[in-house]
Amino acid sequence: TFTNHVTQRVLNVDTMNPNVKRIEYAVRGPVVQRAVQIEKELKEGVKKSFTEVIKANIGDAHAMGQKPITFFRQVIALCVYPDLLEDKFPEDAKNRARRILQACGGGSLGAYSASSGIEVIRQDVAKYIEKRDSGIPSNPDDIYLSTGASDAIVTMLKLLTAGEGKTRTGVMIPIPQYPLYSAALAELAAVQISYYLDEDKCWSLDVGELRRAVKAAREHCNPRALCIINPGNPTGQVQNRQCIEDVIRFAAEEHLFLMADEVYQDNVYMEGCQFHSFKKVLFEMGPEYSSVVELASFHSTSKCYMGECGFRGGYMEVINMDPEVKLHLTKLVSVRLCPSIPGQALLDLVVNPPQPDEPSYATFIKERTANLHILSEKAKMTEQVLNTVPGIHCNPVQGAMYTFPRLTLPEKAINAAKEQEQAPDMFYCMKLLEEMGICLVPGSGFGQRDGTYHFRMTILPATEKLKIVLEKIREFHKRFTEEFS
């Protein structure tokens, strides 16, 4: 009898957590997995019509060749190996490193910190937010440092999820969305409430659509939170101030907790567009709103001009949170001990960069400006080139790091995809990868209106490489359309 027991594993696909099975994360999904296989095949000498796979699937700036900011890396190097403080490094870099190390247990980055993050860094984050928001106060006790913004977003969703059946928490997320949201909601068995962005109006958000979505959702769940991604991922839109005010009013009327994902706040490229933080607009609307609307906003070291994804640095600021819930939030984050200390150190430099009277300032400004300028140029180029391809329509990339163009696919291609039990844009992206060595993410991984097809592409490849990518997409789309016409 004992041997019979052993034949079936304790943990198998039938006995594992069903919520985990429901998770999908397209940014590292089947197309990307196949791209990795193809890279191995190329290394082994398999002949293909291309010599390398160009990955434009993920917002990973340094992997795509973006250069790190010198000052950030100098200070991190000094923090990791303090013996370098004896060497020739700029004085301001040494001062930052000493300040950070003094705030670490035993003067080492290898020590744990407080669960919500190192106190001086939370103070620096609060000062940064105050400066960004024209003097609106920020309290370090409302700041929680996190392992990238993702970690803080999942933590907030955990706090919000409760109830069963019709009382189960519903969370409103934009479609198209960054699939962290749908994945986290699936894992928590919370209810996803989709609201659609308006592609014909440059992916703008319409409060009428929010009303439709929340009204329909109240039939089967308890809507409790509204997530906003601004600037947009994957859609690259930047919300105007009026729109943000309307969203805040809607959240107040419908009694919803607001979650503002603002990790692309420095990535605004288009003239006439400007980043407005939800917190700033909330407080400028006066106490009628600023004393009642509950808000968590998120930022990260992974995007903007830094692109330091691997350090996993980020923070959230919570506004109007119930003090008793805050105690539970602190308890929840303390279970994981603390966010990465090098990530916290890097975040400190992002929120407290070199000042005009410091020796590293000129180089810092030059590098920061160059990184953002290059992204801005690539945003324009991507939109212009894709819009010359018949059958591809691309909205302006107002901000962030992606474009999400709409594809017109022939009926024959749609049927061929169905035969292979694939979404049509997945079929398209797989074929593009196999024939051209270009790795993109199908729109179906982010959500889209039924009957429309898209792909998400980052604007991060180096300019010359991006030109190749765009040229190959143009050539492929023409060939694909002819093949299936």
pLDDT of 241 reads 93
pLDDT of 27 reads 61
Q: Is it true that the peptide bond before 174 is cis, omega within 30 degrees of 0?
A: no
Q: What are the tens digits of pLDDT across the range 16-48? A: 887 787 777 656 678 989 999 999 999 999 999
Q: Is it true that the peptide bond before 410 is cis, omega within 30 degrees of 0?
A: no
Kindly give, in sequence order, each residue whose CB lies less than 8 Å from that of residue 279, ignoring residues fewer than 6 positions away: 129, 133, 136, 138, 260, 295, 297, 317, 319
Distance CA 395, CA 457 (A): 13
CB 153 within 8 A of CB 259: yes
CB 227 within 8 A of CB 259: yes
Helix H or strand E segment including 292: none
Whose CA is closest to 382, among 371, 390, 393, 372? 393
Number of H helices, E strands in the chain: 18, 14
Residue 362 in tokens: 């000129």
Beta bridge partners of 170: 191, 223
Alpha-carbon distance values, 319 to 137, 323, 351, 409, 464 (Å): 11, 11, 19, 46, 44
Q: What are the tens digits of pLDDT across the range 445-455? A: 888 989 999 99
CB 222 within 8 A of CB 170: yes
Distance CA 366, CA 375 (A): 14
Q: Look at strands 222-229 and 257-261 and give their pairing.
A: parallel
Distance CA 75, CA 352 (A): 12
Distance CA 398, CA 379 (A): 8
Four-point Cα dihedral 55, 43, 68, 469, nearest 10: -30
Residue 358 in tokens: 């410091």
Whose CA is closest to 180, among 151, 206, 202? 151
Residue 235 in tokens: 């859609």
Total residue length of the chain: 485
Distance CA 86, CA 84 (A): 5
Q: What letter represents residue 208's amino acid? A: G
Cα Rg for the chain, rounded, in angstroms? 24
CB 400 within 8 A of CB 265: no
Beta bridge partners of 258: 226, 295
Chunked in runs of 10, what are the mean pLDDT values of the chain (485 residues)?
66 81 72 92 92 86 86 95 90 94 87 82 96 95 90 91 90 89 88 93 92 95 94 89 95 96 90 92 96 95 82 93 90 81 92 94 94 91 94 92 92 93 93 93 89 92 92 94 91
CB 48 within 8 A of CB 37: no
pLDDT of 234 reads 85
Kindly give, in sequence order, each residue whose CB lies less than 8 Å from that of residue 426, ignoring residues fewer than 6 positions away: 30, 31, 417, 442, 444, 445
Which domains are assigned to the chain? Answer: 18-65+365-483 (3.90.1150.10), 95-351 (3.40.640.10)
Return the axis-axis angle of helices 361-386 and 70-80, rounded to nearest 10°: 120
Alpha-carbon torsion (54, 55, 59, 60), positive or negative: negative
